[in-house]
Amino acid sequence: MANFWSIVNNVIREADVLLLLLDARLVNETRNPEIEKKVKAIGKPLIYVITKSDLVENKEFVEAHKKELKPCVFVSANKYYGTTILRERILIEAKKHKVKYLPVKVGVLGYPNVGKSSLINAMSGRSGAPTSMMSGYTKSLQKIRGDNSILFLDTPGVIPFMEKESEKHSMIGSVDFTKVKEPDLAVMNIMKQFPGKVEAYYGVEVLDDFEASIENITISRNIVKSGNQPNIDKMARTILKEWQKGNIK
């Protein structure tokens, strides 16, 4: 991870404009005060890009963020929303900061798995930046030509240095479902923050006792281990996978 930070620091130095990608479902959780501070300190423009907006039905909730995050653009790499507006915003910010040459160098920053490489691909119309549902996929700096006016600098995702919140990282997908140590805790956290979504997806009753809900889902899917006991760990990992893939929304 230390090495990933050094790539991020170099990109902050090299880029003319920085994008900080935030997950539309977890806007506050995916902000990174360390990155925001560094970019401000160096005096470069930072655009907040709220991505995966196709996964959010309650647009008002997302709209509320517009007031506190400036400038801010909503996009979806999957649905190609917002890419033209973002391109315009990048060029406006570059001009405001007196960038006199093209292409404008645009550093793309954010948590692992937030959708950095996917956005670059959506904006460049090619698959120049490899993507994956497994977090930590981009491991080095990649330069991808957007068009004549933009050169993207893709970075490996980083999380704030001192942050050790494993449930949050599972919810964001920064630690992917195969690596999460306690998937049941991660699922309970999602159930708490997004009431009823997991239960609705699996067609079980919403209970106050999240552990019981996971058990009910496990039983309803007949996921068992030896001795015919419900295999909670296996089911919780599957639920987490569906969440991280954006199927539960």
Chain residues that interact with Mg ion, rule: CB under 5 A = 116-117, 137-138
Nearer to ligand GTP, 21 or 191 (CB): 21
Bridge partners (DSSP) of residue 23 are 51
Q: How many CA atoms lie within 13 A of 128 on its CB side?
A: 19
Say which residue the tokens 């549902």 belong to.
133
Residue 240: name its binding partner from Mg ion, ligand GTP, none (Cβ under 5 to 8 Å by kind).
none
Q: Which of Mg ion, ligand GTP, none does residue 113 bind to, with CB < 5 to 8 Å depending on kind? A: ligand GTP
Minimum CB distance to Mg ion smaller for 157 or for 230: 157
Q: Give the whole-angstrom CA distance, residue 246 versus residue 249.
A: 6
Residue (94 or 123) nearer to Mg ion, CB: 123
> How would DSSP label each residue in 137-197?
---S-EEEEEETTEEEEE------TT---HHHHHHHTSS-TTT-S-HHHHHHHHHHHSTTH
Choose the one of Mg ion, ligand GTP, none that binds residue 169, judging by a C-beta under 5 to 8 angstroms depending on kind: none
Min CB(205)–ligand GTP separation in Å: 28
- Structure tokens, 208: 């106050």
User: Residue 30 CB, nearest distance to Mg ion (Å)?
Assistant: 14
Shortest distance (Å) from residue 216 CB to Mg ion: 36
The binder of 76, among Mg ion, ligand GTP, none, by C-beta within 5 to 8 A per type, is: ligand GTP
Which of 171, 174, 142 lies closest to 236 in space, CA to CA? 171
* Shorter beta-carbon distance to Mg ion: residue 150 or 191: 150
Listed residue (123, 110, 130, 129) closest to 150, CA to CA: 123
Question: What is the dihedral sign for C-alpha 170, 173, 178, 179?
Answer: negative
Closest distance of CB 242 from ligand GTP, Å:
12
* Among ligand GTP, Mg ion, none, residue 216 binds (CB under 5-8 Å by kind): none
Instruction: Count Cα neighbours of 170 within 13 Å in the Cβ-side half-sphere.
Output: 26
From the CB of 113, what's the least distance to Mg ion, in Å? Answer: 8
Which lies closer to ligand GTP via its Cβ, residue 138 or residue 218? 138
Shortest reach from residue 117's CB to ligand GTP, in Å: 3
Using the CB atoms, write b or e for 180-213: b if 16+ within 10 Å: beebbebbbbbbeeeeeebbeebebeeeeebeeb
Positions in the binding site for ligand GTP (CB under 6 A): 51-52, 54-55, 76-78, 110, 112-118, 131-133, 135-138, 156-157, 246
Between 81 and 137, name the residue whose CB sits nearer to Mg ion.
Answer: 137
